[in-house]
């Protein structure tokens, strides 16, 4: 029996490289974002994460967004974002405008654990 899909937003399939940082250990790795919605994403890569971990992902044309790992399956994981984004921005060509001002970010290269992450948003599979 499969778990019903209870997402509020449709997911936009894409193939986008991004930098991901584990906010607990500081581990950082390049990941592939496979789909993106206003409140979450699915990624794959060699980043070792567990259900409930807080991570930050630097998305093209969006900037750094933070969230909680909702599920892990092999080298793929789902991330419930701590803020709502416009996923169409990631599909647009890179511009000279830095959109990261709209998202919480510490000094360049230093990401802080945000207060808005709620582990209860993560779902078990």
The tens digit of pLDDT for each residue in 76-114 reads 999 999 999 999 888 887 665 554 444 444 433 444 444
Domains of the chain with bracketed CATH: 9-85 (2.40.10.220)
The span from the CA of 73 to the CA of 70, in Å, is 10
pLDDT of residue 18: 94
- H helix or E strand, kind and range, residue 43: strand 40-45
Q: For 36-42, what is the mean pLDDT?
A: 93
Segment 32-60 shows an average pLDDT of 94
Give the model's confidence band at 32: pLDDT under 50 very low, under 70 low, under 90 confident, else very high: very high
pLDDT for 119 equals 64
Beta pairing, strands 54-59 & 63-73: antiparallel
**pTM for the structure as a whole:** 0.68
Other beta carbons within 10 angstroms of residue 74's beta carbon come to 6
């Amino acid at each position: 029996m499969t778990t019903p899909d209870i997402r509020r937003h449709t997911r936009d399939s894409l193939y986008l490289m991004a930098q991901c940082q584990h906010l607990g250990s500081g581990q950082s790795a390049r990941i592939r974002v496979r789909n993106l919605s206003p409140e979450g994403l699915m990624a794959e890569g060699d980043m070792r994460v567990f259900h409930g971990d807080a991570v930050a992902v630097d998305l093209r044309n969006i900037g750094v967004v933070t969230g909680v790992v909702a599920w892990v399956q092999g080298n793929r994981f789902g991330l419930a974002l701590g803020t709502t984004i416009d996923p169409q921005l990631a599909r647009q060509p890179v511009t000279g405008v830095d959109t990261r001002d709209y998202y919480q970010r510490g000094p360049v290269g230093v990401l802080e654990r945000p207060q808005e992450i709620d582990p209860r948003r993560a779902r078990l599979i």
